[in-house]
Amino acid sequence: MSGSNPEHAGWFTGLDPGDVEAAATAISEGETGEPQNWPEQAVQSGFAGDEDEYYSVLHEATRRATREAVTERERADDQQLTHAVSAMDDAERTANELAERLAEWAGSLERDVPTGIEGARAVASWSPETPVQERVVSLAERVVDLDAERADLRSFVESHAPEVAPNLAAMAGPVLAARLIALAGGLESLAKKPAGTVQVLGAEDALFAHLRGHASSPKHGVIFTHEYVRGTPTENRGSAARAFAGKLAIAARIDHYSGAYKQSVHDDLDDRMATIRSREAGE
Amino acid sequence: MSPSLPDGVERRSFDGRERLATRGEPVYGEPQDDDGWRPWDAGRSKLGAMLELGLDLGLDGGERVLYLGAAAGTTVSHVADFAGPTYAVEFAPRPARDLLDVAASRENLFPLLKDARKPETYAHVVESGLDCIVQDVATRGQGTVALRNNRFLAPDGRLLAAIKARSEDVLSDPADVFPDVLADLRTEYEILDTQRLDRYHDDHLAVVATPK
């Protein structure tokens, strides 16, 4: 087929100059050891009339190849999960920020306005009588909507994460699994990270302060949100975080390289956590 | 004083300040004057910093260039403005999406979503005998990247590399990291000049080299 290149051949070998699709495939998939004077060869072989024409075809073909490759890589499910969990965090942060502003504003009109999203709900149910109240109520409605969007994004993450990373989602919970994937930059990069890195993902500031010699090493990053870490008494929390991160790293690798759910890794972690927690109980 | 700027790069006045500039479509919200010039921010571009610091880069304008680590195309847009055919290699899809926008208005810019550590995956596209390789990759083994891509350079071509110490080893003092990278480079390159870019970019070393 025209898209495949024999060895030591330029991307254009055997291509019809008008076939941009085949050209893009050849650029994406072809390989050769040594570069050559491709523009000259293309002109000699009759692929292009002159160098300008060659470069013009190359321009179109490289843009198409890169666009297709970018779309394909960005559409990957782990990337979608990353966007969803980041959007969820943004929606939550923004809703809270606006709710604070709203509480300030609404508090100047009425007494005893509750704070936070609950306050926004209360204000949204007012019947506005003045132009000012109209604005306040309208803002409250936006905050309530934004909070609903956050909830929808969360359910999307909860349903989507187990499809992308069944072991990781089962072990960490879907939202934490998505956060870990987002912090690592994808499931593949998470699978390639050592457990010690997984343990402190999300604690980069603390980690670099430690590396510069200003602070002790962080025990945990975003995995702190999990019951296994947060629910373990302080003196054993480091051990718990280390054990948990170790199994998370393995779960990510299983998810990336095999994709099948594997019960034994979850049982191992449960055993290990029981041991760590019994330390305190036994003493 | 410093070597002359390549054709297509000029010092122009923007808001009363003399700045490097090239002519082309703006790409990152920078202003454009009435003649189509836009400033080249040395704080956002290592190559811009090298020009600003007066290194002799051997650029005259119109060069055939391979740019490794093009990212979103901030610097490569300026390169394509003054150079000839410019091949831009970037490994990460997200910045490559922005790079595509930069390439849309530049006929001589060829974007490639490829790994600079694997030149065999683009040697069927990028031509040999290039005048210049610009390297700005944030990966461990920056010396190796330069060595592997040596095959694209003409015998009198230039390697213009911004070596990032933190990419090699976050813990070591940059001053200890650079000699190792330079030793790597010397196996196949003659080093013409080096200069720290700290005024614009922390912990970066500019290297100008030519194949041995």
Do A74 and B112 make contact, defined as CB atoms within 8 angstroms?
A: no
Give the separation between CA B183 and CA B100, rounded to whole angstroms: 35
Is B116 annotated as belonging to a binding site?
Answer: yes
Would you kindly state where each structural domain of chain A is located, as residue ranges? Answer: 20-75, 76-163, 165-283
Dihedral sign of CA atoms A47, B148, B133, B118 in order: positive
Residues A248, A244: Cα–Cα separation, whole Å = 6
User: A38 and B152 in contact by Cβ < 8 A?
Assistant: no
Does any domain span residue B33? no
* Cβ-count burial A189-225 (b if 16+ within 10 Å, e if not): ebbebebebbbbbbbeebbeeeeeeeeeebbbbbbbe
Residue count (chain B): 212
- The Cα of A75 is separated from the nearest Cα of chain B by a number of Å equal to 10
Nearest by CB: A211 against B103, B104, B171: B171
- Choose among A35, A55, A66: nearest Cβ to B128: A35
Q: Which residues of B touch A78 (CB under 8 A)?
A: none
B30 is in an annotated binding site: no
Chain A: residue nearest B122 by CA?
A31
When pLDDT is averaged across residues B180-202 and rounded to a whole number, the result is: 95
Using alpha carbons, select from A21, A12, A20, A60 the residue that is nearest to residue A40.
A12
- If residue A273 lies in a helix (H) or strand (E), which one and from where to where? helix A263-282
- Residue A87 corresponds to which amino acid? A
Among B22, B78, B68, which Cα is nearest to B45's?
B78
pLDDT score at A14: 92
pLDDT (tens digit, 0 to 9) for every residue of chain A, 283 residues total? Answer: 344 445 568 999 999 999 999 999 999 999 999 999 999 999 999 999 999 999 999 999 999 999 999 888 777 789 999 999 999 999 999 999 999 999 999 999 988 888 899 999 999 999 999 999 999 999 999 999 999 999 999 999 998 898 899 999 999 999 999 999 999 999 999 999 999 999 999 988 888 888 888 888 888 889 998 998 988 888 899 999 999 999 999 999 999 987 778 888 999 999 999 999 888 554 4
Amino acid at residue number A147: D
Say yes or no: B132 contacts chain A, CB-CB below 8 A.
Answer: no
Find out whether B161 and B206 touch, Cβ atoms under 8 Å.
yes
pLDDT of residue A5: 45
Share of chain B above pLDDT 90, in %: 85
Question: Does residue B11 lie within any of the structural domains?
Answer: no
The DSSP secondary structure of B29-44, one letter per residue, reads S----TTSEEE--TTT
Q: Does B129 touch chain A (CB under 8 A)?
A: yes
Domain count, chain B: 1
Please tell me the predicted confidence (pLDDT) of residue A72.
82
Residue B83's domain comprises 57-211
* Inter-chain CB proximity A55 and B108 less than 8 Å: yes
Instruction: Please report which residue ranges of A13-50 form alpha helices under DSSP H.
Output: 20-29, 38-44
The model's confidence at residue B99, banded by pLDDT at 50, 70 and 90, is very high
* Dihedral angle computed from the Cα positions of residues A30, A31, A32 and A36, in that order, rounded to the nearest 10 degrees: 50
**pLDDT computed for residue A209 by the predictor:** 86
pLDDT at B155 over 50: yes
Going by their DSSP bridges, the two strands B153-164 and B130-135 should be labelled as parallel
Nearest CA in chain A to B93: A70
Question: Is beta strand B130-135 parallel, antiparallel or unpaired with respect to B189-196?
Answer: unpaired
B114 contact partners, CB below 8 Å, separation of at least 6: B89, B90, B91, B121, B122
- Cα torsion A157, A159, A164, A169: sign: positive
Q: How far apart are CA B118 and CA B148, in angstroms?
A: 8
User: Which residues from B are below 8 Å from A32, CB to CB?
Assistant: 120, 123-124
Distance in Å, alpha carbon of B139 to nearest chain A alpha carbon: 14
CATH number, domain at B113?
A: 3.40.50.150
Q: How far apart are CA B123 and CA A37, in angstroms?
A: 10
Q: Which residues pair with B10 in a beta bridge?
A: B21
Please report which confidence band the pLDDT of residue B2 belongs to, taking 50, 70 and 90 as the band edges.
low
CB contact under 8 A, B129 and A65: no
Burial class (CB in 10 A: 0-12, 13-18, 19+), A78: buried
| Class of domain A165-283 (CATH, top level) | mainly alpha
Task: Report the alpha-carbon distance of residue A144 to residue A219 in Å, rounded.
Answer: 36
> What's the confidence (pLDDT) of residue B136?
95
By the CB < 8 Å criterion, does B147 face chain A?
Answer: no
pLDDT tens digits, residue range B19-66?
999 999 999 889 999 999 999 999 999 999 999 999 999 999 999 999
**Residue A143 burial by Cβ neighbours in a 10 Å radius (0-12, 13-18, 19+):** buried
Does any CB of chain B come closer than 8 Å to the CB of residue A69? Answer: yes
Task: Please tell me if residue B94 touches chain A, with a CB cutoff of 8 Å.
Answer: yes
Q: Which residues of A touch B172 (CB under 8 A)?
A: none
Q: In this prediction, what percent of chain B has a pLDDT beyond 70? A: 99
Contact B126 A211 (CB under 8 A): no
Instruction: Tell me how far apart the alpha carbons of residues A281 and B121 are, in angstroms, rounded to a whole number.
Output: 58
With a cut of 70, say whether residue B195 has pLDDT above it: yes
Annotated ligand binding at B139? The verdict is: yes
Whether residue B20 is contained in a domain is answered as: no
Q: Which residues of B touch A67 (CB under 8 A)?
A: 100
**ipTM confidence:** 0.93
- Across chain B, mean pLDDT equals 94
User: Residue written as tokens 């002159």?
Assistant: A50
CA distance A54 to A38: 9
**B140's tokens:** 């461990």
CATH architecture of structural domain A76-163: Orthogonal Bundle (1.10)
Query: Would the CATH topology of A76-163 be identical to that of A165-283?
Result: no
Nearest to B107 among A35, A37, A59 (CB): A59
